[in-house]
Amino acid sequence: MQARTIAKQIAYGRIAIGAALLVKPDLVTGRWVGPVADSPGGRVLAVAFGARDLAVGAGTAFALHTGASARPWLVAAVFTDAVDAVATGGARRSLPTPGALGTVALASVSAAVGAWTASQLD
């Protein structure tokens, strides 16, 4: 698969996750952080994460469709995914085990794939 195709998939996936977090934050974050997802503070953080992911995904997609460099957007995505993995891993004993493990795995793989993809784009 070509790096540009992977970059589009990263962008669209991030847009979808961001939109889901904006519309139904507890559905996405409940498995990740547990009951705190239903609290007002948990919802605020989930919506903020949603806005972040939606913006980074939209920026990546826009760059890819207009011929601008998508690399800075992908690097931003790699950074946020790496932070998600490290922060979740650090708090794993306080989080639901399946959600913590899944988030660390997904965020780590996303960061690695994003880093490779960014390195392959002009």
Residue 120: the pLDDT is 97
Q: What is the pLDDT of residue 117?
A: 98
40-66 vs 25-33: helix axis angle to the nearest 10? 110
What pLDDT, on the 0 to 100 scale, is given for residue 64? Answer: 98
Predicted local distance difference test score (pLDDT) of residue 1:
80
Please state the pTM of the whole predicted model: 0.91
User: Are the CB atoms for 50 and 22 separated by under 8 Å?
Assistant: yes
Mean pLDDT confidence for 9-18: 97
- Note the pLDDT of residue 72: 98
**100 pLDDT exceeds 90?**
yes
Q: What is the pLDDT of residue 122?
A: 77
| pLDDT at 20 (0 to 100) | 95
Report the pLDDT value the prediction gives residue 108, as an integer from 0 to 100: 98
**CA 15/CA 73 separation, integer angstroms:** 13
Q: Which whole-number Å values give the CA distances from 21 to 30, 44, 69, in the listed order?
A: 11, 10, 27
Output the pLDDT for position 27. 83
DSSP state of 95: S
pLDDT tens digits for range 44-75: 999 999 999 999 999 999 999 999 999 999 99
Give dist(CA 41, CA 102) in Å, integer: 22
- Residue 59 is inside which H or E element, if any? helix 40-66
pLDDT at 31: 87
The residue range of the domain holding 111 is: 3-120
How many whole angstroms separate alpha carbon 16 and alpha carbon 20?
6
Q: How far apart are CA 116 and CA 122, in angstroms?
A: 12
| Count of domains observed in the chain | 1
Mean pLDDT for the chain overall: 95
